Amino acid sequence: MLTNNKNVLNWVDEMVALTKPDKVVWIDGSDEQMEALKAEAVSTGEMEVLNAEKLPGCYLHRTLPNDVARVEGRTFICSRKEEDCGPTNNWWDPKEAYATLSKLYDGVMKGRTMYVIPYSMGPIGSKFSKVGVEVTDSIYVVMNMDIMTRMGAKAFENLGDESNDFVRGLHSKADIDENNRYICHFPEDNTIWSINSAYGGNVLLGKKCFALRIASYQGKNEGWMAEHMLILGIENPEGEVRYICAAFPSACGKTNLAMLIPPEIYRKKGYKVWCVGDDIAWLRIGEDGRLWAINPENGFFGVAPGTNEKSNPNALASTRKNTIFTNVAHNLSDNTVWWEGLDKNPPANAIDWMGNKWDYTDGSKGAHPNSRFTAPAENCPCISKEFNSPNGVPISAIVFGGRRAKTAPLVYQSFDWNHGVFVGSIMASETTAAASGAVGVVRRDPMAMLPFCGYHMGDYFKHWIEMGKKLGDKAPKIFNVNWFRTDDEGHFIWPGFGDNMRVLMWILERCEGKADAVKTQIGYQPKAEDINVEGLDIDVETVKGLLNVDKELWTEETEGIGEFYKKFGDRLPEELKDELAELKIRLK
Ligand code: OXD
Ligand code: MN
């Protein structure tokens, strides 16, 4: 046992009595303990060791084909009152959920070992940080938590002997039975129960379950925010760094933006980009009244396919040591890994993500489209010097974005904080041909938090508005971007990737009062010539087109927003109703 905290000890005793493991192992996080666990996982086949020269310290793991992604349909918010869960989440009465799941957990760890994992979300010793304890019957979970969090005895330093402020996470892979798979959150009890999955997003309980769903609820009650946002810093040639948070739905390039390589014109002048986080930000008001952010995580749980030397060299470099690969292809000729979009040379002698001999010439995929790497943040060549800073970094701008072929322009700035909350609340992304179903269908995903907000989304909007009141004139400026506008043939017009920095530069200039803007119906926009296109095959006319606001499309858009807003009934803040009404007037 690594703590004298009675609240922790009592809870672990309860979980042991429920799941009845043969053995209980407390994870202290020491190298010896981790090496022994890795050796055990390799001996049972749960993990395979990869090429010690090319990928030192790296492992390969496969999950079952029925267990390869987050399961939103089986994810529940078990608030005591149904109305506190809200229309965008699945609700389950906590009494019923505990009763049903207790039957599934009863004796589920017989013949197995329970690992007790203490972890800190956020740097040890930071006032921002929060402690969690996850009990699990999976070594894969222990190994991933070791990368994704500050795990082990040191995590209890933040808790002390008396506090009851820790998140209780119970996980069992049970039989990986998809019909009995549940990911349940009990926000009022600081509790998460996950069963019958072994896929990361469902079982690494520090990530989506704690750092977003439970933490968003804690943040509302405690006056801070947990957001699905990357954090990056842009350093100018004078050595000053300004930080930006950005929220995008999945498949919109968050990890790529967080680690971007500046275009040559900026590199030559001495600009640098630093990654603080690629997925989650915890935001608090600092002593100076500004908004400060930490990344509560300690690693990257990134999508492998499409990651390559061009799209994201920093992410690829992060995976070259001490990384866990899940559901990618195994190249047997040199015991390395491969995924679609890594390079143009699929291995001839390989095993696919399902564990079968793979022949790429038959058109099948070697890696699952949601295959992942779990890589330590410290591996990232552009990791920020402030990554472990207990105070986090001060935020100059908040950026929202989605995938819109026509409606949203390349960039616009909100008129003020409340209008910015409106802009975040109407965030949407269009489905692509890559997914099944109709192309171009708009899915609303406010602040990219649709699957991750642990309480009523109307109250969440209200919380944003309250935070703005507290921040006053120290509030970050709020922007919206869209990298995905297409021409009449459906080709992307904006080059994206590192060139997105050109838009971030206008954003930062606005924050510093150095750039002009034009007032349009939807917000402030740059003059076309204020987006630097030097070195690009794009002229000012094209930029004008990218910035264009189509009144007809936006009028249609207001109808869609109105429909979406109806869901929230009287929990929709008046401020947002007013914003919608004013937008309609401006479009007339
Ligand atoms: C996600 C992720 O699904 O970050 O958003 O894994
Ligand atoms: Mn995410």
Q: Is 70 close to ligand 1, i.e. is its CB under 6 Å away?
A: yes
pLDDT in tens, the chain (588 residues): 899 999 999 999 999 999 999 999 999 999 999 999 999 999 999 999 999 999 999 999 999 999 998 898 999 999 999 999 999 999 999 999 999 999 999 999 999 999 999 999 999 999 999 999 999 999 999 999 999 999 999 999 889 899 999 999 999 999 999 999 999 999 999 999 999 999 999 999 999 999 999 999 999 999 999 999 999 999 999 999 999 999 998 878 899 999 999 999 999 999 999 999 999 999 999 999 999 999 999 999 999 999 999 999 999 999 999 999 999 999 999 999 999 999 999 999 999 999 999 999 999 999 999 999 999 999 999 999 999 999 999 999 999 999 998 999 999 999 999 999 999 999 998 865 545 556 678 889 999 999 999 999 999 999 999 999 999 999 999 999 999 999 989 899 999 999 999 999 999 999 999 999 999 999 999 999 999 999 999 999 999 999 999 999 999 999 999 999 999 999 999 999 999 999 999 999
Which amino acid residue places its CA nearest to atom 3 of ligand 1? 250
The whole-angstrom separation of Cα 402 and Cα 482 is 6
Backbone angles phi, psi at 312, to 5 degrees: -160, 75
The whole-angstrom separation of Cα 224 and Cα 232 is 20
Is residue 78 among the annotated active site residues?
no
CATH number for the domain whose boundaries are 227-298+385-587: 3.90.228.20
pLDDT of 430 reads 83
pLDDT of 439 reads 63
Dump the DSSP string for 430-475.
E--TTSSS-TT-EEE-GGG-TTT--S-HHHHHHHHHHHHHHHGGGS
The structure tokens listed for 528 are 């076309």
Best residue among 68, 71, 207, 208 to mutate for probing ligand 1's pocket (most ligand atoms within 8 Å of CB) is: 208
Best residue among 279, 280, 373 to mutate for probing ligand 1's pocket (most ligand atoms within 8 Å of CB) is: 279
The environment of the single-atom ion ligand 2, i.e. residues with CB closer than 5 A, is: 279
- Which residue among the candidates 252, 275, 380, 453 is catalytic per the annotation? 252
CATH homologous superfamily of 299-379 equals Phosphoenolpyruvate Carboxykinase, domain 2 (2.170.8.10)
E-strand ranges in 142-240 read: 150-151, 166-172, 182-186, 191-195, 225-227, 229-235
pLDDT of 128 reads 93
pTM value is 0.97
pLDDT of 76 reads 98
Domain 227-298+385-587 and domain 299-379, same fold? Reply is no
6-44+71-223 under CATH 1.20.910.10, yes or no: no
The whole-angstrom separation of Cα 478 and Cα 14 is 46
Q: Locate the ligand 1 atom nearest the alpha carbon of residue 372 and give its number.
A: 6
Strand order in the sheet with 329-331: 336-338, 329-331, 350-351, 357-358
Q: Where are the domains of the chain?
A: 6-44+71-223, 227-298+385-587, 299-379
Three-state SS at 243:
strand
Distance 280 CA to ligand 1 centre (A): 10
**Closest C-alpha among 321, 292, 277 to residue 121:** 277
pLDDT of 432 reads 58
The structure tokens listed for 545 are 């087109």
pLDDT of 1 reads 80
